[in-house]
A and B are shown apart, each in its own frame.
Chain A
Amino acid sequence: MSLYRDSAVVLRVHKLGEADRIITLLTRRHGKVRAVAKGVRRTTSRFGARLEPFCHVDVQLYTGRTLDVITQVQTLDAFGGGIVDDYQRYTSACAVLETVDRIVTEEGEPVLRLYLLAVGALRALSGRERDPSLVLDAFVLRAMSFAGWEPALAECARCGQAGPHEAFSIAAGGAVCAGCRPAGSVRPAPQTLPLLEALLHGDWDATTAATEPVRREGSGLVAAHLQWHMERQLRSLPLVERRESWHRIPEFLRERAAELDGSELAGAPAPQEN
């Protein structure tokens, strides 16, 4: 039995038995690690709250026979607080975690760059300053670049001819020139690929001018590009909320509720005086 310590992001949490959990961590030095946290579902647990998704923690583990066991946890950044209170940020952050989990297929292999990218994305999401959808897209582009799947955004994905090109093909791996464009290519707005390029290189100033339709189109291309490289589709990606006004309740229900409320009050028996 050997003890080790590392900093980590909590990617996933699975119930195990009555009160334990299996925690999937992306650690700084040991890559992806799946470990057991005992008794954390009891509300008396000392560190249950620190082992929730999005937590950035300093963790101590001992090597077990099948899974490592978590013995101590300290919070480095409680990113969850700034993420779960907004549905757009929550769904975007979930997609960040799932992307990491799926890109790293081998446990125990250090993936420092991806760890730094994930921490950066969660920090940006919980910081509430940037459009969550753009933060997610920037993360996915860079994570794919880490995995060796960087889409061609300027030069032609097939022949390398310098762009800008008008067509984009998921199957070909990005922008394609007029000579190479395969059937099924799409023709994004002229601002869309430059937006993706800015996101890939972290040029946030260049992204602020992008209009809503351009952002949405960019997100669509990024998501499609990622899913293309995955054996199985990511579950969270289609659930990412891109609209800011998602919470609109149909007007007729609102009106009916208002009517009901008024009539109920009017029809209620007057309080007895005695």
Chain B
Amino acid sequence: MYEGPVQDLIDELGRLPGIGPKSAQRIAFHLLAAEPADVDRLQETLQKVKEGVVFCEICGNVSEQATCRICQDTRRDPKLVCVVEEPKDVLAVERTREFRGRYHVLGGALDPLSGVGPDQLRIRDLVTRIGTDGVTEVIIATDPNTEGEATATYLVRLLQDFPGLSVTRLASGLPMGGDLEFADELTLGRALSGRRSV
């Protein structure tokens, strides 16, 4: 355990996908020793990518415009909303060609150990969307792991008394502990079509 900012940097880097604690430490000390100009350039690049990419103001998916292609598509049922954790999960569900509704991207799962609670996710937006857009069915498609399950049950409890709303979850067939993105299309498609009411 290092002091203050150095440990914070290691923790931050360690949260990036594919970077273990050892690598995080290595990168942190590399950055510490690097020329200030190099660090500035990295910082600028990160800033640019954050500013250049837009999130759909309706569903939260990555988008080139204010609203994404799926939310603009009038052939897709606006009353049916599939709730996923990340934009990559939208792609996973789209690949099944089973789903003709729209999406809501939460931006993660409830993960108190990483400091993520309901206010850090787009849950309030989801509730408002349901309350004002006439959504009649919500399919919860969070990852089949602990955080995903906890998020799903949280949403079910939150939404279950909403008038005129049916809430379903992906049917089992997805083994616990996995990531949605690793599920093959067949399994995921079957899970979607066999979703159960909660």
Contacts and interface: CB of A to CB of B under 8 A. Distances in A.
Interface in B93-144: 110, 112-117, 127-128, 130-134, 136, 144
A52 B143 CA distance: 13
B134 A260 contact: yes
A12 B114 CA distance: 10
B113 A53 contact: yes
A253 interface: yes
A48 interface: yes
Contact of B178 (A45, A235, A256): A45
A136 to B, nearest CB: 12
A252 B164 CA distance: 15
Nearest to A237: B112
Given A43-B182, A52-B146, A22 B21 contact: yes
A236 B120 CA distance: 13
Nearest to A94: B112
A40 B177 contact: yes
Interface in A6-40: 12-19, 22, 34, 40
Nearest to B154: A87
Contact of B175 (A19, A49, A90, A232): A49
Interface stretch (A78-86, A115-123, A166-174): A78-86
Interface residues of A, number: 55
A235 B150 contact: no
Contact of A86 (B14, B153, B183): B153
A240 B149 CA distance: 17
Contact of A260 (B7, B21, B132, B177): B132
Interface string B155-166: 001110111110
Contacts of A273: none
A49 B172 CA distance: 13
B1 interface: yes
A52 B176 contact: yes
A249 interface: yes
A16 B16 CA distance: 9
Given A14-B20, A98-B113, A261-B134, A43 B146 contact: no
B162 A254 contact: yes
A66 B74 CA distance: 54
A13 B159 CA distance: 29
A53 B1 CA distance: 23
B153 A97 contact: no
B178 A48 contact: yes
B131 A84 contact: no
A97 B112 CA distance: 10
Contacts, number: 140
Contacts of A252: 131
A42 interface: yes
B151 to A, nearest CB: 9
A258 interface: yes
Place the interface of chain B in its size category: 35 or more
B160 to A, nearest CB: 8
Interface string B7-21: 100000010011011
B41 interface: no
Interface string A210-241: 00000000000000000000011001100110
A21 to B, nearest CB: 9
Contacts of B146: 13, 52-54, 80, 84
A253 B128 contact: yes
B179 interface: yes
B169 to A, nearest CB: 12
Contacts of B163: 254, 257-258, 261
Given A247-B158, A258-B163, A50 B177 contact: yes
A125 B20 CA distance: 31
Contact of B18 (A12, A18, A50, A84): A18
Contacts of A51: 177
B187 interface: yes
17 contacts: A19-B182, A41-B177, A43-B184, A84-B153, A94-B112, A98-B113, A105-B1, A232-B7, A236-B112, A236-B113, A240-B112, A249-B161, A254-B131, A256-B132, A257-B163, A260-B133, A262-B164
Interface of B: 1, 7, 14, 17-18, 20-22, 79, 110, 112-117, 127-128, 130-134, 136, 144-146, 149-150, 153-154, 157-159, 161-165, 174-179, 182-184, 187
